[in-house]
Amino acid sequence: MALDPEKIPRHVAIIMDGNGRWAKQRGMPRIRGHQVGADSVRAVLKACRKFGVDYLTLYAFSSENWVRPKAEIRGLMTLLRKFLREQAFELHDNEVRLRVIGHKEDLPDAVRAELDRVIEETAHYQKGTLLLALSYGSRVEITDAVRAIAEKVRCGELAPDTITEQTVAGHLYAPDVPDPDLLIRTSGEYRISNFLLWQCSYSELYVTPVLWPDFREAEFEAALVNYQGRHRRFGGIQ
Ligand code: FPP
């Protein structure tokens, strides 16, 4: 089925899952799954430009992932740096802006420096945005927002009875980014895993059994086609 260019989701968020299983099935070390998974990131980013998706948010490292073996964390951080070094050219060529949501300060200095460089260099681009969720947890994000709002109340800057949904949304990590229209999860698990809990309130969910390292343009297009068949009601009855 062909894609309707009029109904492309503006923002797609992805829980990239199944790297470890992909490697295990092949008798390879887990890091190999993450390496091939990084190629899927490149492919999906390219597909977003091809199909006209403006915002892509990827759950690359959760606040809970820090409990993984040190060697795996090191391997993931190395991959992230490699990705930033190699992908920066593509971001420039396509005028795609890089942003991070999460506690960036938890990351090793070398990764943070690379991230800050690319974030700064691409900050003025407007053709697309890649948001990497790094050391990210949605409950922490909401807690951070509550703390910032409480501080404003304490200072007398904000009155409690004027706090609305917009106030809360406005204190999340990327308040100017529209909510995801589509949330994809690979590897067949039906879980949100502490990802964008506030922002995905009305997102369409798409779960595929395909493991992340095998998720490329064709699988992404299939997710968009499926999304286009949905009838979004946002709580209404139309
Ligand atoms: C989940 O698979 C995946 C991750 C925790 C990390 C995702 C990282 C990448 C795709 C590579 C690097 C990222 C970028 C942005 C270049 P899992 O390990 O939980 O898989 P499993 O559930 O099968 O064990």
Q: Give residue-wise pLDDT tens across range 81-95.
A: 999 999 999 999 999
User: pTM of this prediction?
Assistant: 0.96
Active site members: 17, 65
Cα angle: 186, vertex 197, 213; to 5 degrees:
15
Measured from the Cβ of residue 113, the count of other Cβ atoms closer than 10 Å reads 13
Chain-wide mean pLDDT for the chain?
Answer: 96
Contact 16, 184 (CB under 8 A): no
Nearest CA to ligand 1 atom 12: 38
**Rounded distance, CA 83 to CA 39, Å?**
9
Contact 186, 208 (CB under 8 A): yes
Compute, in angstroms, the gap from residue 4 CA to the centroid of ligand 1: 31
pLDDT average, residue stretch 26-41? 97
188 phi/psi in degrees, rounded to 5: 75, 10
97 pairs with which residues across the strands? 129
Closest CA to 98 of 107, 109, 108, 87: 87
pLDDT given at position 234: 78
Q: DSSP letters along 13-79, please?
A: EEE---HHHHHHHTT--HHHHHHHHHHHHHHHHHHHHHHT--EEEEEEEETTGGGS-HHHHHHHHHH
pLDDT given at position 115: 97
Testing ligand 1's pocket by substitution, the residue of 14, 15, 16, 30 carrying the most ligand atoms inside 8 A of its CB is: 16
Distance of CA 70 to the CA centre of its chain: 23
Q: Is the pLDDT of residue 233 over 80?
A: no
Q: Is the pLDDT of residue 232 over 90?
A: no
pLDDT band at 235 (very low <50, low <70, confident <90, very high): confident
Over the stretch 47-96, which tens digit does the pLDDT of each residue have? Answer: 999 999 999 999 999 999 999 999 999 999 999 999 999 999 999 999 99
CATH architecture of 8-137+180-228: 3-Layer(aba) Sandwich (3.40)
pLDDT average, residue stretch 9-30? 98
Residues at CB less than 6 angstroms from ligand 1: 16-21, 34, 37-38, 41, 58, 60, 65, 76, 79-80, 83, 132, 212
pLDDT average, residue stretch 31-55? 97
% of residues, the chain, pLDDT over 90? 95
Over the stretch 154-211, which tens digit does the pLDDT of each residue have? Answer: 999 999 999 999 999 999 999 999 999 999 999 999 999 999 999 999 999 999 999 9
pLDDT given at position 139: 98
**Directed axis angle between helix 30-51 and helix 70-94, to 10°?**
20
Q: Is the pLDDT of residue 213 over 80?
A: yes
